[in-house]
Chain A
Amino acid sequence: MSSKQFIFGVLILASVSALAVGAQQNSTLATPATKHSAAQKQAARRQDEGERVFQQNCSRCHTAPEGFSPRISGTIVRHMRVRASLSQHDEEELLHFFNP
């Protein structure tokens, strides 16, 4: 496999990626039945500062575990504070997100 072929492959990957994202966004827009509820969810999500912190920090590397004891939520937040350099505000919001 030559370098040109590999670069060509990278371009294909980028194209497929862009199409995939476009398809994801279009599918969200093109579903009238779910449009209203999705908008509501989106609005609620935006109001939740803790979820924003989670999405912008924790989710960058890993998906959320399906559930964990509230007794370790502070420890998880401390871990993220070290790894992602969270501010005190973000730490509090994330803790609130884990324990609404």
Chain B
Amino acid sequence: MTHGEVASAKFVCMLRMTLDFKPRASAYAIRFFLFALAALAIAHHGSAQDTPLISGGVGFFTTTNGGSTSYDPIVEPLLAAPIGQRVLIESRAYLLEYFTPKGGDQSGYNHLHYIGLSYLQGAYVASHHFTIVAGDYLIPFNTYNDRLSPIWIGNYQDGPLIANLSYSSSGSGLGGMLRGNAIQRSKYSIDYSYYYSTRSANEQFTASRGSGGRASLYLPEQRLEAGLSYDRLLQGTHENFYGAHAWWEPKDTAFRLRSEFARGQHAEGYWVEADYRTRAFGGLDSLIGRIEPVFRMQQTFRRDTIVSDGLPPMNTQRAEFGFDYNLPHNTRIITSYARQFSSTGNENVWETGIVYRFLFPAWKGKQQ
């Protein structure tokens, strides 16, 4: 394997952590993307405020690892179309190119491209206690996959090392999900989700049979959330996965502390991430207030020698120091330096990128 091929393989592995990547054929992905567009057309009869939207992010990322720099332009569009008063059709896709040096004595770059769907789901809101989701959905195991994975939300280019430690390494399931608010009081609320995924070898919607759920407690006054996740692979060797998360976002501050722990059959790990913006120098939109230092620590442990979950093959520790800058017009510069320690060798990873978030109506729509 050449250096370029090794880098490409590592990148694909990274994509699986970051983008819920599934190796689907581009033609099929485009077909289903067009299906989502058709859903938008169906939804055109909505009220003046319910025009279908197109959102997402456009990014350009660079990663330098061991003196080798790769480049990664990416687009992640999201479509959302309400139908009637209770239904929402939603889909997210990714289109990316990946350029990596050929290595050796060769000049120039190899490049790979990917197009695929992250999810395509329909949701029916019966009440805030009970929402039915059907289709290809993001698995709500812990929090990263269904909340923080979009490129315009995450503080780092890379997802955490344990991001895909659940029964489905792709991060999505094909089937149904129930979710809602079990209890809502002024001082606390409890959310739940339960999902079941069928097995599918379909090229567009590859999925494993499994089921699981998440329950979380939220204290609005303290802005504290804690939750537990569980899922189980129901094909082949049945495996259990356990997760826990804790988020703290103190009121009237722009400080956020997020953490997750996950344990699978063959490995386990955790990450803790903190980010902060100050209001002390003219608010969050001031020159200083737009600066966002970020820090993340993560550690993974192998429980045996079976490497089937996307985690590093050896016990790994990683400390990441990020420095993001929130420019006007929904644009964000994301930079970070990471030092990774493992028995296979320590390494430095430098990452720099810029992301623009877009959000606009799919068409003109009705005037109020």
Contacts and interface: CB of A to CB of B under 8 A. Distances in A.
Contacts of A44: none
A40 interface: no
Contacts of A78: 50, 80, 82, 88, 125
Nearest to B257: A17
Nearest to A99: B49
Given A28-B252, A85-B131, A87-B181, A66 B330 contact: yes
Interface residues of A, number: 45
Size range of the chain B interface in the assembly:
35 or more
B247 interface: yes
B365 interface: yes
A73 B255 contact: no
A62 B326 CA distance: 12
Interface of B is mostly: strand
Nearest to B53: A72
A21 interface: yes
B158 interface: no
A71 B274 contact: no
Contacts of A23: 280
Contacts of A75: 46, 49-53, 80-82, 88
Given A56-B220, A82-B125, A85-B180, A25 B272 contact: no
A18 to B, nearest CB: 10
A27 B51 CA distance: 43
A47 interface: no
A62 B153 contact: yes
A55 B253 CA distance: 11
Contacts of A68: 53, 359-360
Interface in B37-60: 46-53
B128 A72 contact: no
Interface in A53-77: 55-56, 59-63, 65-66, 68-76
**Could you say which of A13, A86, A95, A99 has the most chain B C-beta atoms within 10 Å of its C-beta?**
A13
7 contacts: A56-B220, A60-B225, A61-B153, A71-B365, A75-B88, A85-B131, A85-B180
Given A13-B274, A59-B249, A74-B82, 19 more contacts: A6-B299, A9-B297, A21-B250, A24-B278, A61-B147, A68-B359, A72-B50, A72-B365, A75-B50, A75-B81, A76-B80, A78-B80, A78-B88, A79-B80, A79-B88, A81-B131, A82-B88, A82-B125, A99-B49
